[in-house]
Amino acid sequence: MGFLAPWFLGGLAALGVPVFVHLLRRHITTPRPVSSLMFFEKGIQSSTRHHKLRYLLLFALRSALILLLVLAFANPFVRRAAAGANDRLLLIVLDNSFSMRAGTRFADAKQQALSTLAAKPHGQKAQIMALGGQLEVLTQPITDDTQLRAALESVQPGDGHANFGDLGRAIRTLSETNPAPIDLHLFSDMQRSAMPANFADMVFPSAVKLVLHPVAKGAAEPNWTVESIDAPAQLQDPKDPKRSKVDAVIAGFNTPAATKSVSLLVNGKVIATRKVDVPANGRATVNFAPLSIEYGFNRCEVRIEGGDAFPADDAGVFSVRRSDPERVLFVHAGNDTRSPLYFGAALGAAAQSSFILQSVAAEQSTDLDPSKFAFVVLSDTVTLPSIFEHTLAQYIAKGGSVLIALGTSAAHHEKIPIWDAAVKDARDYARTGAPATMGQVDFSFPALAQADPGRDNGGWADIKIFYSVVVDPGQARVAARLTDGTPLLLDKQIGEGHVLLLTTGLDNLTNDLPLHPLFVAFVDQTARYLSGNERLSGSRPVDSYVQLRAGTEAAGSAGSVEVIDPDGKRPLSLSEARTMQSYRLDRAGFYQIRFANGRDAVIGVNPDRRESDLEPMAPDVQQLWSGSSTGAGQLTAAAAPVASNKQPFSLWWYVMLLAMVVILAETALASNYMGTQREDI
Amino acid sequence: MDQRFLDPSVLAGISSLDLLAKTVVDGFVAGLHRSPDFGFSQEFAEYRAYSPGDDLRHIDWNLFARTERMYLKRYRGETNSQLTILLDASNSMQYTSGPPAKMDYARFIAASLFYLAIKNQRDAAGLIVFDDEVREYIRPSTRVGQLSRLFAGLERAEPHARTNFANPLRHFQNFLHRRGIAIIISDFYEDPETIVHTIEPLRYQGHEVVLFHILDPQEIRPVMKGSAIVVDLETDQKIEVVPDYVKTTYRAKVDAHIEELRTRTLAAGMDYQLLVTDQPLDESLRRYLTLREAGN
């Protein structure tokens, strides 16, 4: 036993106060006068004894109170034996990431985990987790061996990418909520690529003892993989030499220089095979052109022939949708000929464009059906035929998209059609002599996306805006603002569709955007965003999410979605199909999805290629990791120092509790005593 | 009756005994009804038609001369009595648990009785102040200035020494020659038998004797929450007592003492009145008037 704050023991000098009050100070009792003692009798012995007893009791209580308060501040503690074996939580984490499919890694790891579980004392609590693309908690801390074993048996190799940083964060959270010390047994191939960028992310708290069970023995075996595939998601003309091609990068890990045979399969048929020389531990690109595919969705695969130590990663899948070019309806004011010219030219110049622009004056749009178009552009058309406006609203609600550009006509009308908001003001920067420039650009917005915008704001800094309309953003997302804060590009979700609002025009009168090369990229990205074709095909990595329906839609108000996984099964229940907003693509292969707005998609899903690098962590790094929490390495972890078994246990709370009881007793006794004093006087 | 002017706690605020006595008596008298008994003294009351057998001396002949009808003049009954108050001025009388003290209360009573006797009843009034001896004697008189002398005597009656009934009462008999009313005001901390035995000779002499037993409420029902040391005001003797005793045995003893004193007093043909210092003074005045009526 000891004191964590022994200098507070100096407060024991306060014990002199009750000693003075009760023992040193003379008690002065004022006699109570009476007329005569004729009727009184002496009761000296009993009352004196009563007084003395009470005074001594009060003295003892007061002394005890001061003693306890001083002790509470001094914070006494006792060394208590640390939790025994049965008090420790056995946490078994089994790595089921994609790389565990290599060889017998997963089977070995599961076998070892089962052995560890079997060796567990019967009364000890244990918990099972699986570390794949996400850390799955399979059981709560329980002692039921059967349930624990069943949970461990149920773990199957997945296609996700393990990250030891995620494991570290999860265990730190678990350690905060679970006061018991944890014995963490990690069964993994200890891939180096699973390490986070910062080693501190994978360090565990001191209460966690990490025991590593690496299943990858020896040096990593040679492994070739399809690292990336560059293929069009949508194709109109297979004979188009610019777009009808597939570029695949073949990468080797721990491999000698070799000539690999790579095949392109479309819908299960090999349509081309190429030989490629892959340097040692290097990469090589193989090209397939032209891409001969049929109309509709084509399930394509690039496969490395010959096999290696990890055949599961020898193929990469993607889907290509072949369709005729889609039409875009461009509605403009009757006297406006510049806007369709600029927009059409930009749309045609876009490298990945597959749209045909159909421009029409607003007055002639009455009988048009927007659903036949990929998306609709309203260029400075503040008045639309009511029939067309109604049709357009229904088109948006069902998933259609519209781009509205506001020119100088907008200022003369209060309300913007479709957008459902009023025009607050119009800014004519030309009159002030200083055109506005772009202030903020949200480069995460799909229509403005740029990987590296640079110091010139992605080229937007050079754009001069002469005229802009001020609109209250409301619930809309503001993707770009001018330097004076005026929103320039807004995006609003209406029903299943999107409406994009550009508060300036598409001609060169209200701004000089059409004169810049940036305009082509903007139109191309906007067209792809609004048409929504990007998400209907192509490829995605495992554990990416697909948005199944609009977030603003009320649950159950629209049709259900349908997801068919690579095994041909429907993973969603009926209720999930009606309510689920997004879906995680957790398996490699082709997913077939029918969205809530009725559009179909086939998406190829590939494992994270970092899983193909089978190189394990260096032994010293493993040693450092396993010793990071306990201060000792894995090998010495079993023989933990004896001293650490005793932990200080603070007693201040109990001392304070006792002091509270003494305070109450002292108060009751003292008040009784004070009552007697008043009587005497 | 205006009880406010008879409340001891109110009277304790009045410093002048003269004013106090006037306040008490006026307040008391204002609430009294006239006596229904008629006499033939000097105070005219009413006329009554003559009926055979009536004393002819009382016929108003002047009225007969005017009306030729015979009427008898009736007068309010009126006699002269002698009031002597024997006031105990021992130390025990200074006890108080709150104003007024027993001595003050006794003074209030004595002053009120003197005022009532001299001003209202035209009785002779005298005062004997005693403790273990007779300390002051003012002989009963109706002379001018008697009331002032009596009040001055009351003012001088400060408590000291012990009570001893035997000694002073021997002298009482020497002082009280003419029959009258003798009122003894004391807390009577003495054996009832001794008290009655000592006072009884006054009764034998034909006096109407009244014992006004003055006690403080705390003396009858004392409240004591814890053990305490009590000190006798007369002997300075101290003893420690416990609450249980005070709550039970003491109260029983006091009650028995009061009851025995009352019984023995009444048995000896004297009157007894227990006066508690938190009660109004009118009871003592009423008792005096009652005695006066009975004695005449």
Interior CA angle at A156 toward A155 and A158, to 5°?
A: 120
The whole-angstrom separation of Cα B162 and Cα B232 is 11
The answer to whether B131 faces chain A, any CB pair under 8 Å, is no
Is the CB of A41 less than 8 angstroms away from the CB of B245? Answer: yes
Domain with B200 in it: what CATH number? 3.40.50.410
Is the CB of B242 less than 8 angstroms away from the CB of A47? Answer: yes
Is the CB of A33 less than 8 angstroms away from the CB of B231? Answer: yes
Query: Which residues 96-115 of B have a C-beta within 8 angstroms of A?
Result: 102
pLDDT for residue A85 is more than 70: no
Share of chain A above pLDDT 90, in %: 10
pLDDT for residue A354 is more than 50: yes
* Nearest residue of A to residue B256, measured between CA atoms: A39
Contacts A41 to B, Cβ<8 Å: 239, 241, 245, 249
Domain range for B222 is: 3-32+80-295
First to last CA, chain B: 26
Residue B172 host element (H or E): helix B166-175
Per residue in A596-634, pLDDT (tens digit) is 777 788 889 999 888 888 888 888 888 888 876 554 444
Q: Does B132 share its domain with B277? A: yes
The whole-angstrom separation of Cα B137 and Cα A580 is 116
Spatial strand order in the sheet of B38-39: B38-39, B71-76, B43-49
What are the beta bridge partners of residue A497?
Answer: A494
**Count of alpha carbons within 13 Å of A497, Cβ hemisphere only?**
23
A634: Cα separation from own chain's centroid? 32
Contacts B195 to A, Cβ<8 Å: none
* Nearest residue of B to residue A52, measured between CA atoms: B227
Return the closest-CA partner of residue B190 out of B246, B108, B257, B135: B257
Domains plus CATH for chain A?
2-75+651-680 (no CATH), 85-220+614-645 (3.40.50.410), 326-534 (3.40.50.880)
Which candidate from B92, B239, B244 shows the least CB-CB separation from A40? B239
Q: Which of B191, B223, B230 to mutate to test the interface with A (most CBs of A within 10 A)?
A: B230
pLDDT for residue B296 is more than 50: no
Which candidate from A31, A36, A39 shows the least CB-CB separation from B229? A31
Residue position matching structure tokens 């009225």: B63
Which long-range contacts link A335-341 to residues 24+ away (Cβ below 8 Å)?
A336/A379, A336/A380, A336/A407, A336/A507, A338/A507, A338/A508, A338/A509, A338/A514, A339/A379, A339/A380, A339/A405, A339/A407, A339/A505, A339/A506, A339/A507, A340/A379
Query: Which residues 14-53 of B have a C-beta within 8 angstroms of A?
Result: none
Q: Would you state the pLDDT for residue A543?
A: 86
To the nearest whole angstrom, how far is the Cα of B187 from the nearest Cα of chain A? 9
The answer to whether B236 faces chain A, any CB pair under 8 Å, is no
Which candidate from A37, A39, A47 shows the least CB-CB separation from B254? A39
Q: Does B165 share its domain with B210? A: yes
Q: Which residues are within 8 A (CB) of A320 and not within 5 positions of it... i.e. 6 or more apart?
A: A231, A232, A233, A234, A235, A291, A293, A297, A298, A300, A537, A538
Contacts A31 to B, Cβ<8 Å: 228-231, 238
Per residue in A486-508, pLDDT (tens digit) is 899 999 888 778 899 999 988 88
Per residue in A210-240, pLDDT (tens digit) is 888 988 777 778 888 988 888 888 887 888 7
The whole-angstrom separation of Cα B105 and Cα B281 is 9
Pairing of strands A246-253, A126-131: unpaired
Q: Does B273 share its domain with B169? A: yes
pLDDT average, residue stretch A455-471: 85
Q: Determine contact, residues A278/A224, Cβ cutoff 8 Å.
A: yes
The whole-angstrom separation of Cα A403 and Cα A498 is 9
Q: Which residues are within 8 A (CB) of A343 and not within 5 positions of it... i.e. 6 or more apart?
A: A330, A357, A377, A379, A506, A514, A523
Per residue in A89-121, pLDDT (tens digit) is 889 999 999 888 888 889 999 999 999 988 888
Q: Determine contact, residues A478/A446, Cβ cutoff 8 Å.
A: no
Which candidate from B225, B232, B249 shows the least CB-CB separation from A34? B232
Domain boundary among B76, B106, B138: B76
Return the closest-CA partner of residue A293 out of A605, A609, A608, A602: A602
pLDDT for residue B192 is more than 60: yes
Is the CB of B245 less than 8 angstroms away from the CB of A43? Answer: yes
pLDDT average, residue stretch B32-40: 45
Q: Does B156 share its domain with B47? A: no
To the nearest whole angstrom, how far is the Cα of A48 from the nearest Cα of chain B? 8
Per residue in A415-462, pLDDT (tens digit) is 788 887 888 888 888 887 788 888 888 888 888 887 777 777 778 888
Query: Which residues 46-75 of A have a C-beta within 8 angstroms of B?
Result: 46-48, 50-51
> For residue A458, what are its two tokens?
């992605």
The answer to whether B276 faces chain A, any CB pair under 8 Å, is no
Which candidate from A36, A51, A676 shows the least CB-CB separation from B234? A36
The whole-angstrom separation of Cα A63 and Cα A56 is 10
Return the closest-CA partner of residue A647 out of A207, A208, A210: A207
Contacts A32 to B, Cβ<8 Å: 228-231
ipTM confidence score: 0.75
Q: Does B102 share its domain with B146? A: yes
Q: Would you state the pLDDT for residue A383?
A: 80
Q: Which of A32, A35, A37, A42 to mutate to test the interface with B (most CBs of B within 10 A)?
A: A35
Q: Does B67 share its domain with B157? A: no
Q: Does B234 share its domain with B117? A: yes
Model confidence band, residue B24 (pLDDT cutoffs 50, 70, 90): low
Q: Does B44 share its domain with B150? A: no
The answer to whether A44 faces chain B, any CB pair under 8 Å, is yes
Residue A33 host element (H or E): strand A32-34
What's phi and psi for A456, nearest 5 deg?
-90, 25
Pairing of strands A315-322, A326-332: unpaired
| Average pLDDT along chain A | 82
Per residue in B216-244, pLDDT (tens digit) is 988 888 887 777 788 888 888 888 887 77
Query: Which residues 1-40 of A have a C-beta within 8 angstroms of B?
Result: 29, 31-40
The whole-angstrom separation of Cα B106 and Cα B163 is 15
The answer to whether A41 faces chain B, any CB pair under 8 Å, is yes
Is the CB of A675 less than 8 angstroms away from the CB of B231? Answer: no
Domain boundary among B21, B50, B76: B76
Q: Does B130 share its domain with B55? A: no
Q: Would you state the pLDDT for residue A489?
A: 92
Higher pLDDT, B62 or A642: B62
Query: Which residues 639-678 of A have a C-beta within 8 angstroms of B?
Result: 675-676, 678
pTM of the model: 0.53
pLDDT average, residue stretch A8-16: 84
The whole-angstrom separation of Cα B23 and Cα B10 is 11
Is the CB of B238 less than 8 angstroms away from the CB of A29? Answer: no
Tell me the Ramachandran region of residue A483: left when phi exceeds 0, alpha when psi lies from -120 to 50, beta otherwise: alpha
Q: Would you state the pLDDT for residue B37?
A: 45
For chain A, count helices (H), then strands (E): 13, 34
Backbone CA torsion sign across A653, A654, A655, A658: positive
Q: Does B46 share its domain with B26? A: no
Model confidence band, residue A536 (pLDDT cutoffs 50, 70, 90): confident
Q: Would you state the pLDDT for residue B255?
A: 93
Higher pLDDT, A400 or A21: A400
For chain B, count helices (H), then strands (E): 11, 11
pLDDT average, residue stretch A281-294: 86
Three-class SS of residue A558? coil
Interface size, chain A vs chain B, as Cβ–Cβ contacts under 8 Å: 97
Task: Supply the DSSP string of A352-410, one letter for each residue.
Answer: T--EEEEEEEGGG-TT--GGGSSEEEEES-----HHHHHHHHHHHHTT-EEEEE--GGG
Is the CB of B187 less than 8 angstroms away from the CB of A35? Answer: yes
Return the closest-CA partner of residue A353 out of A232, A500, A512, A238: A232
Q: Which of A27, A39, A48, A50 to mutate to test the interface with B (most CBs of B within 10 A)?
A: A39
Q: Which residues are within 8 A (CB) of A151 and not within 5 positions of it... i.e. 6 or more apart?
A: A128, A138, A139
Q: Which of these ranges, A415-419, A467-471, A556-560, B130-134, has the smallest mean pLDDT?
A: A556-560
Angle between helices B17-30 and B282-295 (to 10 degrees): 70
Q: Residue A146: how many CB atoms within 10 A of its CB?
A: 7
Q: Would you state the pLDDT for residue A93?
A: 92
Q: Does B222 share its domain with B146? A: yes
To the nearest whole angstrom, how far is the Cα of B277 from the nearest Cα of chain A? 14
The count of structural domains within chain B is 2
Contacts A50 to B, Cβ<8 Å: 227, 242
Higher pLDDT, A673 or A72: A72
Q: Does B45 share its domain with B106? A: no
The whole-angstrom separation of Cα A83 and Cα A86 is 8
Q: Which of these ranges, A612-616, B38-42, B110-114, has the smallest mean pLDDT?
A: B38-42
Which candidate from B238, B249, B257 shows the least CB-CB separation from A41? B249
Is the CB of A44 less than 8 angstroms away from the CB of B234? Answer: no
Is the CB of B228 less than 8 angstroms away from the CB of A51? Answer: no
Q: Which of B88, B94, B241 to mutate to test the interface with A (most CBs of A within 10 A)?
A: B241
Interior CA angle at A316 toward A193 and A285, to 5°?
A: 85
Which candidate from A36, A39, A42 shows the least CB-CB separation from B240? A42
The whole-angstrom separation of Cα A676 and Cα A403 is 91
Q: Which of these ranges, A226-230, A237-241, A672-676, B51-55, has the smallest mean pLDDT?
A: A672-676
Higher pLDDT, A474 or A81: A474
Contacts B226 to A, Cβ<8 Å: 47, 675-676, 679-680
The answer to whether B226 faces chain A, any CB pair under 8 Å, is yes
Q: Which of B219, B242, B251, B255 to mutate to test the interface with A (most CBs of A within 10 A)?
A: B242
Share of chain B above pLDDT 90, in %: 9
Q: Would you state the pLDDT for residue A660?
A: 93
To the nearest whole angstrom, how far is the Cα of B100 from the nearest Cα of chain A? 15
